[in-house]
Structure formats: C-alpha cells, structure tokens
Amino acid sequence: MIVEDDQIIANVYRNKFAVEGYHTEIALDGEVGLALVRSFQPDAVILDLMLPKMTGVEVMKHIREEPGLEKLPVIVFSNTYLTSLVQEAWKAGATMCLSKANCTPRQLLDVVRTALSRNGTPGSAPPSPAGSREAAPPAIASGKGPAARPAQSLTLGAADAESEAELRKSFLEGLPATLAALRVLLQALVKAENETARLKQVHALYRRIHALTGNAGLAGILQVAQMADALEVLLKELYEKPKTINASTLRTVALAVDFLGFLFDRGVTAAPDEGKPPSVLVVDDEAISRRAVTYALDKARLKSTSVEDPAIAFDLLSENRFELVILDIDMPGMSGFELCTKLRALPEHKHTPVVFVTGLNDFDSRTNSTMSGGSDFIAKPFLFIELAVKALVYVLRGRLQAAK
C-alpha cells in the first residue's frame, strides 16, 4: 500500500509495482491510509510523512498499536530535511526511511522486496530481472537502520532505463508551466494583505513545491529535487508559524523560486564537484550565534568552519577557498563590513557569496552590507531552515557558474 498525497507520484509508483507483479492500493491522506491498512491488510506500506488529515508519524503509531501489525514493513518515503519528523518516524517503528528527492522507483522496489523477504512474507517478492538493480539509497536520519542493504548491481535494466528516460522527458517538458505557476503564487504571496490571505498562498505554494520534490526525484533531476526538498520544509514551517512570515523569509522564498528557474533552464541532473562537500566559513564573535548558524548549515549538509576572530577568519580566507562566507556585522577589532571588503580583494574570493547574519536590521546596515560587497542579508533571530535554504542556493549556484 502507498500512502502519498500527490496523485501523480502515487500512480507512478503503483504502476511500477504492478509491472513487478504486486497488487497495490493507494491512499491520498493519512486517515484513508490507516483505514486501508485495516481493510486491505497489506504486506508492506510505503508512507509519506507530510500528509493531509493525519501525519505519517501518527499513521505509523496507530499501525504499531494494531494487534498483529507490530512487524508490518513500513517504508517511510519523505523529505530529507524533516530531521526531527523522520527521527519520530524511526522511534514510532519505521522499517526504513528514504529520501524522496534521490530515490528511484527501482531502488524503492528493491527496499520493499528486501523488507518483505526479511519479514517472511510468502510468495510476495518476485525476482527482479537480471541486472536490473541499483545500489540502494542511504537511509535518512540514521539513528536507526537495517543491518543489511538490498542486493546491488552496476546497471539498470533496459525497461527501467527507458521508463526513467520517459519520466525525465515529461518532467523537463513541463518545467516552463511549473515555473510560471510558482511565480504567480509567489507574487500573490508577496501582495497578500493579511495573515489569512498569506497563509492561503503559502499553503498553495507549499503544495506545488511538495509535488515538485517528488516529481524531480522520480525524473532523476537531482539538483531541482534537492532545492525543492529544502524549500518545501521552509514553506511548511512558515505555514505552521505565521508570525515567521516577514520580509526576510519572503526574500528567501523568492530567492529559492528564482534559483529553481535557474535550474529549470539547465535541466541538470547532477551537481558539479558533487563528491566534494561544500565548504562554508562562519564568522561570529558570539558562540551561541555561531552554533545556531552551523546547525542550520548542517541541515543543508554543508560543511562549515566557524571562528570568532575576524582577523583569524581573514587568514583562513587568504589560505583556503570557501564556497560561501557567513558574517556577523558587529564584531570587535574588525566589523563584518570591513572583513567583507578585505576578502573581496583576494583573487580567490572576488566572487564568493557573502551572507550577513546579524541582529542589526536597520536600513543603513542593509545598505552597508551591499556596499561592502555582500551578496545577501538575513536578520537574527532566523529560522534554521531559512538559512539552510539561502546557503544551499548560493552554494549550488556558485558550483554551476564555476562549471561553465
């Protein structure tokens, strides 16, 4: 059984499982999913976490409370950035948690097949065609995981390759219409005159991005999936915490939508230097602020070096290449503005993105951040996922531009 609120994604996976000989039912919200578990009595469940009416974690808890379902394989298939929610899913009894943004239908099929085999389900795991398996995707939020992985092979079967090529072609053809719809929704959000109207537009934009994440993952358009993955969580948080909808968060949403358009133009499938973790320098004289920034970067899986002394930071910049620099403004000995001006004189960092993260939110500070060579500005206190989205945009854009 597949519990997934995006009809198109659910149908793609149902068809994939049907071709492999599985009888598959789908549910588009958590309440229907739980009812189907009881009536359909599936041998395995594929479960999204962000569902209408009842979350995936709530569905999981109810499943584990049902007599006889303690060992039912439940494969969580959701957003990579929902760290706390995924940890809740592990604790509630998930068999495995996979990232929707970078898992192919074949990989999901193999994970389900292996889970059924381990559970001793008779006659329910038809063999894959020879040579048709990929390496299984890594589990996310790995506080827990299976002892072994599904069988691996070097190549996809011809049918899988043809299917993925068709999905990619269809996805790419629909990108102009997708981008137009995103921009219309963004404009409506920016122009919304009250909280009720803003929440309506945030939710509509979230639904579009939620579908984009899954469809980009299906099509193997990995950078689009990664960016949409992060933006989806930011929009979810804005919807759940309306007071966080402000000029800063709206700028970040607009930045991310604009960058998605940048990615759409290229139709890229993999990031340049994807084997090398991005390096970020964080400079802030306050320890708590540094920890907050590095935590936000961790959510985007960006490797960071943090220092409190601007002079030491300049020495590091003189000797090393960083793909993003995050600066406080008000620091002893050398302000963030001064450090930004100095680093712009270094050939290696002439064009390195610099984001100011500071409690100074006045007009003069914003003007000076631009005049000193800053790329962007975010005010404290900030949402962790907001900074993660902003950092991800600048790192990915920088890599793409450097690869030209």
Answer for the pair 182, 205: CB distance below 8 angstroms, yes or no: yes
- Residue bearing the bigger pLDDT, 374 or 48: 48
- Residue bearing the bigger pLDDT, 139 or 337: 337
Q: How far apart are alpha carbons 129 and 157 in whole angstroms? A: 7
Average pLDDT over residues 49-77: 91
Residue 227: per-residue pLDDT: 92
Q: Evaluate if residue 386 carries a pLDDT over 90.
A: yes
Residue-wise pLDDT tens digits, 71-112? 899 999 887 776 777 888 899 999 988 888 777 788 888 889
Q: Evaluate if residue 242 carries a pLDDT over 60.
A: yes
CA angle 215, 220, 226 (to 5 degrees): 75
What average pLDDT is seen over the chain? 83
Average pLDDT over residues 134-153: 45
Percentage with pLDDT > 90 across the chain:
46
| pTM score | 0.79
Domain spanning 2-153, CATH architecture = 3-Layer(aba) Sandwich (3.40)
CATH superfamily of 279-398: Response regulator (3.40.50.2300)
Residue 131: per-residue pLDDT: 41
Percentage with pLDDT > 70 across the chain:
82
Q: Evaluate if residue 345 carries a pLDDT over 90.
A: yes
Asked if residue 277 has a cis previous peptide bond (ω within 30° of 0), the answer is: no
Residue 133: per-residue pLDDT: 44
> Domain limits of the chain?
2-153, 168-266, 279-398
- Closest C-alpha to 163, from 106, 122, 216: 106
The reply to whether 279-398 shares the fold of 2-153 is yes
Average pLDDT over residues 333-350: 92
Residue-wise pLDDT tens digits, 216-238? 888 888 889 889 999 999 999 99
User: Is 189 in a helix, a strand, or coil?
Assistant: helix
Eight-state DSSP code of residue 304: E
Residue-wise pLDDT tens digits, 155-209? 445 556 677 778 788 888 888 999 999 999 999 999 998 999 999 999 999 999 9
Average pLDDT over residues 373-395: 88
Residue 374: per-residue pLDDT: 80
Least confident window among 58-62, 118-122, 155-159, 309-313: 155-159
Residue-wise pLDDT tens digits, 105-138? 888 888 898 888 887 665 444 444 444 445 555 5
Q: What angle in degrees, to the nearest 10, is found between the helix axes of 7-19 and 158-173?
A: 160
Tokens of 97: 């948690």
CA 269 from chain center: how many Å? 15
- Residue bearing the bigger pLDDT, 54 or 79: 54
| C-alpha to C-alpha distances, 164 to 160, 201, 202, 219, nearest whole angstrom | 6, 32, 31, 6
Least confident window among 12-26, 123-137, 255-269: 123-137
Residue 267: per-residue pLDDT: 63
CA angle 368, 369, 370 (to 5 degrees): 90
Q: How far apart are alpha carbons 167 and 162 in whole angstroms? A: 9
CATH number of the structural domain 168-266: 1.20.120.160
Answer for the pair 361, 332: CB distance below 8 angstroms, yes or no: no
